Amino acid sequence: MYGEIIIGINTVFNFAILSFANRMGKAQAKKSRLLLASFIGALPVTLFPSSPLAIVFAFLLMVICAFGLSFSSWGSPSLIVLIGALFAGGALTVFTDMFMFSNALVTVFICALLAYLFLNLLKTKWLDVRTARQLSSYSTESVLAIWNGSINIPTFIDTGNRCTEPITGDAVHFVSLKAVEKILPAQLKEPLQKWNSQSMPQLSAIPKPYQKDTRLIRLQTVQGTSWAVGFKFEKWVIGKGSELPSGYIVLTKQDNRYPEGAGAILHASALEIITNERGTEHVA
């Protein structure tokens, strides 16, 4: 009876880990296949519990049965299986002695529940790390040249920002007013402070020396339609030296929607530029 309990616990534990790897690695294996692989992986370890070769053999047999024969199909999931096994196995080692019952089904159920709780915690943390990495891949330093001055601005590329200037089709980027306050001409400060985005604006409110490089930008959001002033920038260098195509910036007073640390939200087209730059950098 003791052997059946151990096989049951190992099978449930293996299934929890394989399911975790299946989700995180996007392998899309069927649950029936994962269950069979879990049972197959539990047998060698139960029969030869002290043999390192049996453990290695069971691991390889299990991941191959679950994800396929080719290394490309099981190579990546196997790493996730190993990480999940080390994490959940270590946690179960601590708690299992506290939950060993005379009833085999209760023991298996408790072990399964603990394994899923531990792996769900690992999954949450894993996704947090992935999200942070993705956000960092959209963030970059930059130097903005405008109004005969230049300033360093940390930027974030927003793939949802598709705003363009209606006549030229040039990209529109959003910049925090605070980020450019040092180089903002004094003549522009008052008109921008008085700007009413809800009514039809007049560019005549902008001082004449700056009207040539100024455009009206119509913004469409879930709150409705509004108008903003777009200023054509002279040059904008991002990353390691990649230059953005000609475009416009819209100054924003409220920065609560900006990602932490960012002073500007770039147009989605900037992602291709920074991706090409980083790809070339990796190849080199």
For the residues of 78-92, what is the DSSP string, one character each?
Answer: HHHHHHHHHHHHHHH
**Coil, helix or strand at residue 94:** helix
Give me the pLDDT at residue 99, please: 56
Give me the pLDDT at residue 258, please: 82
Query: Tens digits of per-residue pLDDT, 26-56?
Result: 667 788 888 898 888 888 877 887 788 888 8
CA–CA separation, 146 and 151 (whole Å): 9
Looking at residue 42, its amino acid is A
Give me the pLDDT at residue 110, please: 72
- Residues of the chain below pLDDT 50: 280-284
CA–CA separation, 238 and 247 (whole Å): 14
Give me the pLDDT at residue 173, please: 96
Looking at residue 279, its amino acid is G
**Domain 139-283 coded CATH 2.40.70.10:** yes
Residues of the chain with CATH 2.40.70.10: 139-283
Nearest alpha-carbon partner for 92 in 122, 115, 123: 115
Whole-structure pTM value: 0.56
Sheet of 224-232: strand order equals 214-221, 224-232, 247-252, 171-176, 264-266, 149-157, 139-146, 235-238, 242-243
Give me the pLDDT at residue 284, please: 38
